[in-house]
Structure formats: C-alpha cells, structure tokens
Amino acid sequence: MKIFEKIESEVQSYARAFPRVFNKAQGEFLYDTDGNQYLDFLAGAGTLNYGHNNPVFKEKLLDYINNDGITHGLDMHTKAKGEFLEAFNEKILKPRGMEYMVQFTGPTGTNAVEAAMKIARNVTGQQNIVTFTNGFHGVSLGSLAATGNSHHRDAAGVSLNGTHRMPFDGYLGDDIDTTAYLEKVLSDSSSGINSPAGVIVETVQGEGGINVASVEWLRSLQTVCRKHGILLIIDDIQAGCGRTGDFFSFEEAGIEPDIITLSKSLGGYGLPFAVVLMKPELDTWKPGEHNGTFRGNNFAFITAKAAIDHYWSDDSFAKGIKHKGQYVSERLEAIVKQYGEGNFTAQGRGMFQGINCVNGELAGAITESAFKKGLIIETSGADDHVVKFLCPLVISNENLEKGIDIVEQAIKEVCAKEESIPEMVDYFDDKQAMNA
C-alpha cells in the first residue's frame, strides 16, 4: 500500500473507504491481493450493471483484440462504431419510437453533460440552465455549475455561472409541486430568473442521495419546458442503461427529452464511453466544435454492442431487473421498519435504491461494518447519509439476498450501539428548523 501513500494524490476517495489492493473481479465479486472475496454493491459507481468481466463481452473483446481491431481512431468511421450505432438504433431507439442523433463526446459523463449544455445554449441563444437541488452532473466547470454539492463546487476556484437552481421533486415537502414554482417564476417577468436554454435533471438523483422524481413531476416538468420553449435534458448517466428497470430511466414517465446523456454502464465492460442523444433538429454542431481525442474508444463500441445484443434484444432483462428491484424494495422497507425507529427511510426505483440513515456518521459506520463483513457498498447524499445499493443488475438472487443480509446485520449492530436514531429535520416545522 506504501506506493499509494507515497505518490498518489490526496484526491483519491473510494480507496479511503475500501483500503485494500484489488486485482481480480468476476460478476458481482471483487478480490484483493490476499485472495479475499468481496461482494460488490458499488459496481464502479454504476458502471458495471452487467457485472465485472462479463464473459459474453469478454469473448467479443478478446476476438476483436486478437484480430488487431482498431483501438483508437479519433472520430473516424470504424466498423466497430458502425455496428454499435446499428445495434443502438435498431434495438434501443427504434423499438421505443425514439429518433435521436448520437454524439460521441469525450468518454466521461461530465464531458457528455458539457456537450449537452452547449447544445441547449447554442440552439436557443440563451445561457441559463435550470438545475435542481442535490443534482450531480460532474465536476468539470460547466457541469459543476449544474452540480449542487458544495464539497465539489468549492474546489472550482472560479465562480460557477450560467445555471439557476430550482427545488427538486419533494424538496419543499411532499405536498408542494416544485414544477408549479418553476412555472410561476418563468411566467413572471420580475422573478429575476433569466430565460433558460434548458433544464437538466436526473430522474433518480444518484450522488444526491437516491431522490426519486415521480412520473407526474417529470411529466409536469416536460409540460413547463414545452410551454416556455426550454429544452429538457435528462442526465441518464447513472440512472440509465437498465438501472431503474428500463433502458432509459424516463420510459415509465412516458416523456420525450430533447437531449439525453448516457455514460457509465453504456460501454458495458467498465470501459470509458459517453454519448449525447439529441433530437435531429438540435444537431447544429459545426465539425469538431466539441471535440476530444478520446471520442473513439472502439473497445467500448464492441462491448456496448454486445451488451445491447445480449441484454436488450427483448424485454426479459428489463423484467428481471424490475423483479429484483421489487425484492430490494421489500427488504429495505422491512429493514428501515425494524431498525430505524421510524426515522430511516427506504427510497429508490428498480435496482437504484438506498436507505436514508438521517446522518452521515451512522451511514458511514454501517458501510464500514459491511466492508468488514465482505461487502463493498458506499454512501451518497449531501451528508453521505444514504446507504446506496448499486449492485450489478446481473447479480444472482442468492448473492443479492446475501448482500442485503450483510447490510441488515451491519445496521442491526450499528443501531444497537446508538441511544436513539436521529430524526430527520423538518425545515417546514419552525421549531425544528431553528434548532437544526
């Protein structure tokens, strides 16, 4: 471990929570150099929906490498890219009645978000992008302006401009429809909110603490956007690629975003890959305007196509995710009921779920204890107060149960040491808010 302490930057984060050296992985398991096995409920922060070293993709990738397939070709046309586009169009877009142009951006989520925001701004001629409380869209300067978390924002070193934050669904309490507030400020010429180019939103906020936008809220958001000529950008980088049950997380809401960002599990194998999907009339890019050397990760094209062919040729995979998601919901509901003294909550959709433990110390103690028991699981949320279940979607039922059992045991032990479980602050209750 010494070399990491000696020369790897202090910026490392996951390595601090899981201080082992890992050297092997398969399916839902990671192994360290001492041969210890860990069940992986982090899955590369949602990059490994199809598991580590998925054998189907591995075979395709090895064949491609053995045949001296192109590794890198800038954005030149390659057979691998063409075949990915065919598969994506035929098996993902067309069956859903979706007509979009595909832009290959630099291979990180944040770069896709940068491109999406540029498109909205350039097409509408407006600068302002509406973003939501607790949203996370990346840490490069444009996307960081859309990200809420102050830990990340404080590192920018310059002012973060061009965005305006609005309350996400549920932020002002269950009874307040925050899209009505958006509608009001956009309709009021003295509200002080500049006319937006676009709205960027996650349907389930991953880093923000597994906050779910209801289908009604998403539909209403789309209606407000349409009414005011604002482009709706769905950031599906973490919630997409099956995580919530469908390929796109917004399918259940039946909305039609103008722009969509995808990354993380799109490559299937943990290989860097990101795209922006835009309605054809929005594709006003001039050649190379948003370029980047690594827009042609051909290995990722191979594994992304394999993922689409293998898992998305029919709806059986989606059905399986929903089934497993139902099991996770039931288990988490039972756990919060048993140990949370009415203060813990289970939240999420599909295989994108979490337990809100009210405070970060509790959640951290739970994930630390789970790690000692052989489970890799992280927290998210403003105060890292949500234990976030993000296991590979291909996990066996047996290992899914085993992982949740470990978390349950960890919660039981951690909560047993607490005098009482802290209450969530209700900011709309005067007394509580003053004492918070």
Ligand X SMILES: Cc1ncc(COP(=O)(O)O)c(C=O)c1O
Q: What does the binding site for ligand X look like in residue numbers (CB under 6 A)?
A: 45, 108-110, 113, 136-138, 202, 206-207, 235, 237-238, 263
Chain centre distance of CA 105: 17
Distance CA 256, CA 221 (A): 11
Q: At what angle do helices 397-416 and 360-372 cross, to 10 degrees?
A: 120
In the complex, the smallest distance separating the C-beta of residue 363 from ligand X, rounded to whole angstroms, is 18
In the complex, the smallest distance separating the C-beta of residue 175 from ligand X, rounded to whole angstroms, is 27
In the complex, the smallest distance separating the C-beta of residue 120 from ligand X, rounded to whole angstroms, is 15
At CB < 8 A and 24+ separation, what contacts does 73-79 make?
73/296, 73/298, 74/293, 74/295, 74/296, 75/104, 75/291, 75/295, 75/296, 76/296, 78/296, 78/298, 78/301
In the complex, the smallest distance separating the C-beta of residue 354 from ligand X, rounded to whole angstroms, is 14
In the complex, the smallest distance separating the C-beta of residue 138 from ligand X, rounded to whole angstroms, is 4
Q: In the bound complex, which residue of the shown chain has the CB atom lying closest to ligand X?
A: 109
Residue type for 276, please?
V
Looking at beta carbons only, is 206 or 296 nearer to ligand X? 206
Copy the structure tokens of residue 436. 């918070």
Looking at beta carbons only, is 129 or 186 nearer to ligand X? 129
Do 285 and 67 form a contact (C-beta atoms < 8 A)? Answer: no
Taking alpha carbons only, the member of 156, 148, 179, 165 closest to residue 381 is 148
Looking at beta carbons only, is 42 or 307 nearer to ligand X? 42
Looking at beta carbons only, is 117 or 282 nearer to ligand X? 117
| Angle CA 41–46–47, to nearest 5 | 115
Copy the structure tokens of residue 105. 């951006």
Looking at beta carbons only, is 237 or 321 nearer to ligand X? 237
Looking at beta carbons only, is 68 or 154 nearer to ligand X? 154
In the complex, the smallest distance separating the C-beta of residue 110 from ligand X, rounded to whole angstroms, is 3
